């Protein structure tokens, strides 16, 4: 059985907030996962402006990953920054953890709630949901209002916040699935599930990165990738100031 090589691009410049340990518990022998961070871009993604600055180097990293022989790419951010542009640039599957989680959450629970770091992301997520065609399944949005770089230090308090927002999402907004709305919440799902079960609530809590890894592998194993009719290769042209290997022209 051929090994699936999945490359995860964490689209920020901050070293040390994603390590190889993070995804180890979710792997199989025939799954190999590698990682990259950005060289140019924002420290964290907490606005549309941050997201815009993350995309150019994310594209470059995606092209590099394909050239290095990877089988699929995951963009490690729940805003799916650069998803469409990367899909134009490469032919191997590019997986957006937000898109993936919203679709799988719809499948498992009918309606989903999205619980994330900051209230200000509400309009951004609302646009993603509508551009993915999933508005009919969107139960609600909630935020625990913790900046991304404080996630690790505030983990306990954060988990309590996620549990209480998840309970409200199910009881008030009738969500049938909880989407953890920041890939930095990696590893929290178990505690939230337990917190919900203590209230007699049994809904899937989706940790987007482990899910994205296995969905990426499912694409590889079934030979599926995104449509090149929907995401056609960009033409060659001058693109000053960016090094986009293969697509730039002098």
Q: Which of residues 129-188 bind a copy of itself (CB under 8 A)?
A: 130-137, 147, 170, 174, 176-177
Note whether 246 binds a copy of itself by CB under 8 A: no
Contact of 38 with 61, CB cutoff 8 Å = yes
Distance CA 200, CA 194 (A): 10
Contact of 155 with 185, CB cutoff 8 Å = no
28 three-state secondary structure:
coil
Q: Which of residues 195-224 bind a copy of itself (CB under 8 A)?
A: 201-204, 206-207, 210-211, 214-215, 217-219, 221-222, 224
Specify the residue, 8 or 89, whose C-beta has the smaller distance to a copy of itself: 89
Distance CA 54, CA 94 (A): 16
User: And the tokens for 229?
Assistant: 């009719």
Strand arrangement, sheet containing 177-180: 138-143, 112-116, 177-180, 205-206
Note whether 15 binds a copy of itself by CB under 8 A: no
Specify the residue, 159 or 193, whose C-beta has the smaller distance to a copy of itself: 193
Q: How far is the CB of 188 from a copy of itself (least distance, A)?
A: 13
Contact of 142 with 162, CB cutoff 8 Å = no
Note whether 232 binds a copy of itself by CB under 8 A: yes
Specify the residue, 1 or 156, whose C-beta has the smaller distance to a copy of itself: 1
Print the binding letters for residues 89-128 with a copy of itself: x by CB under 8 A, - otherwise: x---x-----xx--xx-xxxxxx--------x-xxx-xx-
């Amino acid at each position: 059985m051929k090994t699936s090589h999945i490359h995860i691009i964490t689209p920020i410049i901050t070293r040390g907030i994603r390590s190889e340990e993070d995804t180890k518990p979710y792997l199989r022998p025939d799954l190999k996962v590698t990682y990259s961070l950005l060289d140019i871009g924002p420290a964290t993604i907490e606005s549309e402006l941050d997201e815009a600055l993350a995309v150019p180097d994310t594209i470059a990293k995606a092209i590099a990953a394909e050239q290095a022989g990877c089988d699929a790419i995951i963009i490690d951010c729940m805003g799916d920054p650069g998803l469409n542009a990367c899909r134009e640039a490469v032919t191997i599957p590019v997986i957006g953890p937000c898109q993936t989680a919203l679709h799988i959450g719809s499948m498992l629970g009918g309606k989903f709630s999205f619980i994330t770091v900051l209230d200000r992301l509400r309009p951004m997520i609302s646009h993603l949901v509508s551009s993915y065609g999933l508005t009919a399944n969107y139960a609600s949005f909630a935020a625990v209002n913790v900046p991304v770089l404080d996630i690790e230090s505030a983990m306990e308090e954060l988990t309590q916040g996620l549990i209480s927002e998840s309970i409200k999402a199910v009881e008030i907004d009738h969500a049938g699935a909880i989407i953890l709305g920041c890939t930095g919440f990696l590893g929290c799902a178990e505690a939230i599930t337990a917190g919900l079960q203590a209230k007699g609530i049994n809904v899937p809590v989706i940790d987007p990165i482990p899910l994205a890894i296995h969905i990426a592998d499912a694409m590889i194993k079934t030979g599926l990738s995104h449509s090149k009719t929907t995401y056609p290769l960009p033409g060659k042209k001058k693109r000053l100031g960016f090094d986009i290997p293969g697509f730039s022209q002098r």
